Chains A and B, each alone.
Chain A
Amino acid sequence: MLKHKNTLLVLAFTVAIFSCPFFLNPYWIDVINNIGLYAILALSLNFIVGYTGLFHMGHAAFFAVGAYTAAVLNTSYSIPILLLLPVSGAAAALFAYLVARPIIHLRGDYLLIVTIAIVEVVRIALVNNVFGLTGGSNGIFGISRPEFFGFSIRRPHEFFYYIWSFLAISVFLFHMLEKSRFVRALNYIKNDEVAAEGSGVDVAYYKLIAFVLGAFWAGMVGNIYASKMTLISPESFNFWESVILFVIVILGGSGSIRGVILGAFLIVGLPEIFRQFAGARMLIFGAAMVAMMVFRPQGFLPPVPRKYATHKIKPGDETL
């Protein structure tokens, strides 16, 4: 029964979202596009923060590496931006592997601080035009639009279908992964790292894979972002972007796909609705974060606890 209700809800939400372009003006479609981008980014961060329980507040660094990879290769070698999608992801994943490897043993707060430092160092490196590739504080402009078989995506509602299809694919993949042995191991690490290690989960390895996978996805979003804006600059990848992503995951419900998407709607969407209170909205946002942690620290839609039908298991059955 519950299962049918869930399917219906997901279906209704999907239909509602994909009918948006028919009755919203371009401004609001663009807002929805931004929500979509943040949702995908937050889902990729959810791998690290939500599933594995690592305090990672430097996700904007991976996003930046993906976006800059796409921008540099596209503007210098005019490689079609859509072909660069996996390249951006791979570059971000490689970067994540290199930076996460030496720090993966750090716990809790220490990891939080190092990841903040990483995102700041990346931003400072971009501003200082490292290797002469990143265009300094002005960034890179003239990035081309994505093209599907000769059809160029440029208007907000065209980007809407591009971004939200990508989001739908991501949700599907992550939902599938959630049931896997791999994500169960990550959840184990989140709940009790020592016990996980004791049960034969290679904690450092799994943490590293979580970082690499999350970064791969963030890098691909960087590519989409670059092609949507056609101009990127270091200020788009500062520490506050990381904080926003982190807050989306935590307030929405860390470890839950629905929660993260709801979080993206609340944190990116609500400030747009309350635009007329421009000055005070961030003040309220801060106060709301405190109130939320005091009254509902698990987030709006926390993940449903795993259930195992243990009574159906017969002796001698393969269980994992």
Chain B
Amino acid sequence: MEFFFEQLINGLAVGGIYALIALGYTMVYGVMRLINFAHGDLFTIGSYLGMTILATYAVTAYLGPFVGVLVLIVMVMALVGIIGVILERVAYRPVRQADRLSAVVSALGASIFFSNLVMLIWGPRFRVYPEDILPRITLNILGLDVPLLRILVLVTSLILMGILYFFVQKTRTGTAIRAVAIDHGAARLMGINVNRIISMVFLIGPALGGAAGVMVGLYYGQVNFTMGWSYGLKAFIAAVLGGIGNIPGAMLGGLLLGVIEAMGAAFISTAWKDGIAFIILILILIFRPTGLLGERVADKV
């Protein structure tokens, strides 16, 4: 039983990271109907930027470990967000009116570009995150030994998701984002600057991905230029699981996928850990293509 709860918390921590990345996919899909294949690589860039800034020890030396890491995450979020906005301007805006296939290939090209850029800058080998940034202690919660880091990852991702949910549901800009997701033309007629909203989405989505990148670096201690691919795909599955285009769906899907994977690895087979996610994806798409929280959309003729 103890093992079960340990796996549950482990799954939730990883699931929180998946959820943060999944939010980027789902928001972009929501407003543009585009699978942003480069999103996973933006996550990698966030991870490497975090490593580079941490390696100077400047942030954590002045501000202490906890505030320092928090400031670091905000810095990385800003940088990756800006890269996201530039990506949209260069690679996606010109093909928005073309057919869907062009956008998909453009996104794939951007993904290849970014992953190779990371490889050229930081090298092809695994890089190690600076150690001992955060104290490696275990807390005892209700008789369970839980590493502090695991709780921090889970709490940080939940807080970020909470902020995003508040932003999208309660603010004017958030309302505009939801309006653009429903209908570009109608939103434009209501006086919403659609281009600005899409830029905004490309600021927020990659920023959350960048935050997830830093957390993965801190949590696992090492990063590699290809990791954006596997994390991106998993997060994408999480987004589909929850219902793509649906923000609470991505959060639920991420957490759920993290838990299912952790349980699958613990109780079924470690070798098939990666396969489980894909099999879930295939089953979901066959039986409920709109995902768990997605609404059924009528065919457009």
Contact = CB atoms under 8 A, between A and B. Distances in A.
B113 interface: yes
Interface of chain B, main secondary structure: helix
B111 interface: yes
A259 to B, nearest CB: 14
B285 A120 contact: no
B113 A106 contact: no
A304 interface: no
B109 A124 contact: no
B90 to A, nearest CB: 7
A294 B103 CA distance: 9
A250 B272 contact: no
A42 interface: no
B108 interface: yes
Interface of chain A, main secondary structure: helix
A121 B278 contact: yes
A118 B275 contact: no
Interface string A177-206: 000000000000000001000000000000
Contact of B240 (A113, A243, A254): A113
B276 to A, nearest CB: 10
A279 interface: yes
B236 interface: yes
B238 interface: no
B298 interface: no
Contact of B281 (A109, A113, A243, A285): A113
Instruction: Select the residue from B29, B33, B101, B117 with max chain A CB neighbours within 10 A.
Output: B101
Interface string A109-148: 1101110111011001101100000000000000000000
B113 A283 contact: yes
Contacts of A127: 271
A5 to B, nearest CB: 30
Nearest to B91: A290
B112 A289 contact: yes
A283 B301 CA distance: 39
B120 A120 contact: no
B155 interface: no
A290 B38 CA distance: 12
Contact of A289 (B90, B106, B114, B286): B106
A246 B101 CA distance: 11
Instruction: Select the residue from B98, B111, B240, B289 with max chain A CB neighbours within 10 A.
Output: B289
Contacts of A120: 233, 274-275, 278
A251 B90 CA distance: 19
B2 interface: no
Contacts of A106: 285, 289
Contact of A286 (B101, B102, B111, B236): B111
A282 B102 contact: no
B143 interface: no
A293 B112 contact: no
Contacts of A102: 286
B282 interface: yes
A283 B117 contact: yes
A121 B275 contact: yes
Nearest to A116: B233
Nearest to A102: B286
B116 interface: yes
Interface string A273-305: 000000110110111111011100100000000
Contacts of B111: 286
Interface string B258-301: 00000000000001101100110110011001000000000101
B34 to A, nearest CB: 8
B56 to A, nearest CB: 26
A128 B275 CA distance: 10
B191 interface: no
Contact of B282 (A117, A251, A280): A117
A106 B240 CA distance: 13
A91 interface: no
Contacts of B90: 290
A194 B301 contact: yes
Contacts of B271: 127-128
Contacts of B279: 117, 121
Contacts of B114: 286
B278 A243 contact: no
Instruction: Select the residue from B233, B236, B278 with max chain A CB neighbours within 10 A.
Output: B278
A300 to B, nearest CB: 13
Given A113-B35, A283-B120, A297-B98, 6 more contacts: A103-B282, A109-B33, A121-B279, A286-B113, A287-B113, A289-B112
13 contacts: A112-B35, A117-B237, A121-B275, A124-B275, A124-B278, A125-B275, A194-B301, A254-B101, A279-B116, A280-B116, A290-B110, A290-B113, A292-B109
Sorted nearest first, the 5 A-B pairs with minimum C-beta distance are: A289-B109, A286-B113, A286-B112, A297-B102, A293-B106
